[in-house]
A and B are shown apart, each in its own frame.
Chain A
């Protein structure tokens, strides 16, 4: 049994937030926090501010003189991006990708956690199997799935030929066709996200108070009703933890996209990350790339902020 069920002990007692009464200790907490904040300021905040400055200049890597700020053209990069169809397209693709990946990962993990909670045979080994995708670096996930979905020599098409669904090689161009390209990337990302999410949700499922279910059974609730009205609401805090962890880690999906399609073909899977890399590193347009980075950072921060607020709310409700 993995999920400890401290709360279950108080059984029917009304669940309120047990807000910790924190201690007033003067400067001591600041001393504890200071090193962490210092590192973050130095390694994350300062570079980001620098890139904000760069985003207001026409800086190109191979033209060192272009790193100069003039008020007149400070907003030129942002202006350019807002008028850039490809930027909007990659923004849209990114949103679609994130929305589908996050939701599907969550739903599949939820289903999987329900399933795993019922397993009686070989639980430990099964959980090790569940964690297999965790062992893969995102870049390795990308390489593997690109290979699997290769139209000519890939496992997926080979398998479909072996079982007689396809007649010849190259019949399905997984990484090319719309919407298969996006779908294959999403499959790879979901595969990578499933373990952590499922583990958290499974722990949640296992910690649910059994008394509530027994009461529901007495009332004649169906399996779906029990899930819908008991399990799902009680899982809310676990769900938000899982979603928060995922939103913090979502940028790891960049490695997958970059390896699998690199935004192609014909920008069908172009996302903000691939577009930034192309602009900033390959085309050496650091200024423009920084402007886009800032837009991306703002979006990521909003996204995470949203989940955090939900998490805090869920904790309070509990």
Chain B
């Protein structure tokens, strides 16, 4: 580009970035906060290193797994997976219908969506182990408590992801279906669901991955599955048995994660 007189135009130098005091203030507050938190929680790396020998000791014990124990472990792992499957199924099923109820492009009444969203948020705040403890208190120890806990937990995971997916769909097909005289449920099945079903399946698989992991520790609080044996073997220092359990759990979790994420990839194409 040239200016009117034919000379090369004067290119102004890149202006200096403005100094922003507030950024520095925030950085100092954050770093200060980190120090205060370490003090308050007695976090101390030296303690971890001083006792590192304990860890290596346990690790060495665990590294010699007692394979004869796997005959006991495998049925229990299968039971744990069954818990995860049932929990995922019931939780997702409830989440499916609940999501339709709180998606603002499906239910236009803001009072309805507001109330049901509030309930959903309360349910979502309860962590899975607490849910397990609550259901053990209600229905007693055993796998049923675990299934219930996983159902509610799955519901919390899937409902949030799914209703947000519903709210991002293209509104056009909804209009088209309204225009041909479809009723509300027909609009849902013919305009909404075809756009979000793959998301729903994907979120359900994702919840299943989380559930397989979560279900292995639920036994700790008596909610069924392998967790109980994890706790017992640790308590009596049978580390070689603990090692067997952990190795089998790791193999199963990795396998399920792999299959599930491949399935989700294929779905999203």
A and B physically associate: no
Which residues from chain B sit less than 8 Å from chain A, CB to CB?
Answer: none
Which residues from chain A sit less than 8 Å from chain B, CB to CB?
Answer: none
